[in-house]
Structure 1
Amino acid sequence: MSTIAVVGAGPQLGRAIAWRFAREGYDVALVARDRERLADMAAELGTSGVSAAAFPADVTDRAGLRAALAAAEEHFGSIDVLEFSPGPTASDFAERPAVDASVLTVESIVPEIEMTLYGGVTAIGQVLPGMLERGSGTILVSAGSGAGPMVIPGVANYNVATAGLRNLVLGLNASVAARGVYAAHVSIAAFIGQGRPGSEPDVIADAYWRLHTERTEPELFYNDLPEDFVFEKVSTQFTDS
């Protein structure tokens, strides 16, 4: 039986990805910092016959994240798919315009680097050796569209971190594809679960399954924004993944 680990298993996209892979027969390891929500999600999956377990961890606690994923590997035998998407909340995603040196500071960037880039490096580093040893595995990493190719100048601190993670994943895929491991970055330009049909979590989760099964493109730019949309006050429009 194959296992997916969903890191950043929030109530919207994380939950939908867990269910999408579970429907294909995958066991599910859920990793996030909210213990109660994780336990409820694991129980919900379990009532449908899915083998699911919760492994609470904060992605900014690198030792704790490694321990959670190691526990998931021990529990299920392996992690065959890693999905990393610790979505920012409104409080995490405060406005930090690139033009304003008074708010775009080193201090404002460090927490985003800790969560997104260092968290991603840690999660990948824990599961990658096993994937390479087995000669198979998938790593799917998600971030906002500001990682590329869109430009969102109002949250430059967050975009610095996500762009770094995007670069890592693209380089990783180029390095390990010939060894049976597939890595892809997903840039999401959508307000998940806020009304547009293409922005519903289940619809987006289907795109993750396609990436995993087709294993051809190292990057997906998922854009479901209205054509006339202008990014203003973006911090009020994002919720946990």
Structure 2
Amino acid sequence: MSVIAIVGAGSLMGRAIARRFAAGGFDVALIARNPGALKSIADDIPDVRTGIFPADITDRKALSQALSEAEESLGPIEVLEFSPTPRPADLAVSPFTDAIGTTVETLAPHVELHLYGSVAAVQQVLPGMIERGAGTVLLTAGAVSSRMVVPGITNVSIAVSALRSYALNLNAGLAGTGVYAAHVSIAANIGQGRPGSEPDAIAEEYWKLHVARDQADFYYEDLSDGPVTLSDRYSD
């Protein structure tokens, strides 16, 4: 059976993506800091094997080990989905800043989480994907990674824009290998009641990307009740 690893698995999108891929026949590996939260998600995924592998995404050694353990337990990872979210404690140390207030110190933790974390996760599973000639890498960010400008979170915007660049260059570099990579940018207040912002609706788009493999830069915008003004990626 195929395996999806969800890095940064949260109660909204992480849960929904896990359930959608499980419905498609995937076993599920859940990776994030909180074992209790991961167990809650795992308990909500029926009919497939589900493993929880706690790790701090900013601890690259621990992240690599978690992914290695996931493959040992469940089998080769066919799909890697990466969607980390800062904890309130992280934001207390490195709060959101505007362009004027952005410094190396306020930027570095977000680069560590989004960019270095994604590179570390990808590099752990990519050699196996290339060897097998098949694989999907989906790197997730909010709308500020591409089309939306929100000056109050400039430091995060810089970090997730770098993640987007990595995903696009990765996909181009993987041409002909059978491995596909995409950046997913979500312009939606996730789980706040709008039909197009429900996690299950967005998770369906992840499944379509994996199946069709036709877009390297996917922008999801919830227009169900008019334009969205700010992505709520950081509530997951």
Of residues 211, 214, 218, the one that matches 1:213 is 211
Instruction: State the shift of 1:153 in Å.
Output: 1.6
2:8 aligns with 8
* Alpha-carbon distance between aligned partners in 1 of 2:227 and 2:3, rounded to the nearest angstrom: 40
Residue in structure 2 matched with residue 44 of structure 1 by the alignment: 44
Whole-Å separation in 2 of the counterparts to 1:143 and 1:11: 16
Question: CA–CA distance in 2 between the matches of 1:145 and 1:169?
Answer: 15
Return closer, same or farther for 1:167/1:238 CA change in 2, 3 Å cut-off: closer
Q: Please name the residue that 1:190 is paired with.
A: 188
Residue 135 of structure 1: which of 133, 136, 157 is its match?
133
Matches within 5 A, 1:72-87: 72-87=70-85
> 1:152: which partner in 2?
150
- Tell me, yes or no, if structure 1 residue 95 matches structure 2 residue 61: no
> Could you say which residue in structure 2 is the equivalent of 1:57?
55
TM-score by structure 1 length?
Answer: 0.91
Counterparts in 2 of 1:204 and 1:228: CA distance versus 1, 3 Å: closer
Partner SS state of residue 176, structure 2: helix
Q: Using the TM superposition, give the Cα deviation of residue 62 of structure 1 relative to its aligned residue in structure 2, in angstroms.
A: 0.4
CA shift at 1:149, angstroms?
2.0
User: Given that residues 189 and 228 in structure 2 are in contact (C-alpha distance below 8 angstroms), is that contact kept between their aligned partners in structure 1?
Assistant: no
Identity of matched residues, %:
51
TM-superposed CA distance for 1:239, in Å, is 4.1
Query: Alpha-carbon deviation of 1:32?
Result: 0.4
Alignment partners' CA distance in 2, 1:219 and 1:36: 33
Q: Which residue of 2 aligns with 1:30?
A: 30
Alignment length (residue pairs): 232
- CA shift digits 1:124-155 (9 cap, x unpaired): 00010000000000000100111102222211
Deviation at 1:6, TM superposition (A): 0.5
Q: Following the alignment from structure 1 to structure 2, what is the Cα–Cα distance between the partners of residues 67 and 38? A: 17
Match of 1:188, SS state, is strand
Measure the CA separation in 2 of the matches of 1:19 and 1:240: 19
Contact kept, 8 Å, 2:141 with 2:233, in 1: the verdict is: no
Counterpart CA distance in 1 for 2:227 and 2:49 is 43
**More displaced, 200-209 or 153-162?**
153-162
Using a 3 Å threshold, how does the CA distance of structure 1 residues 91 and 150 change in structure 2: closer, same or farther? Answer: farther
Unaligned runs of 5+ in 1: none
Runs (5+) with no aligned partner, structure 2: none
Change (3 A) 1:191 1:91: farther
Counterpart of 1:119 in 2: which secondary structure? helix
**How many Å apart are 1:77 and its aligned residue?**
1.8
Deviations along 1:167-208, one digit per CA (max 9) or x if unpaired, are 011011011131100000001111100011000000000000
1:95 maps to amino acid: F
Q: Paired residue for 1:120?
A: 118
- 1:181 alignment counterpart: 179
Deviation per residue, 1:57-93 (Å, 9 max, x gap): 0100000000000000111120000000012355656
CA distance in 2, matches of 1:6, 1:68: 11
- Given that 1:89 and 1:238 are in contact with CA atoms closer than 8 Å, whether structure 2 keeps it comes out as no
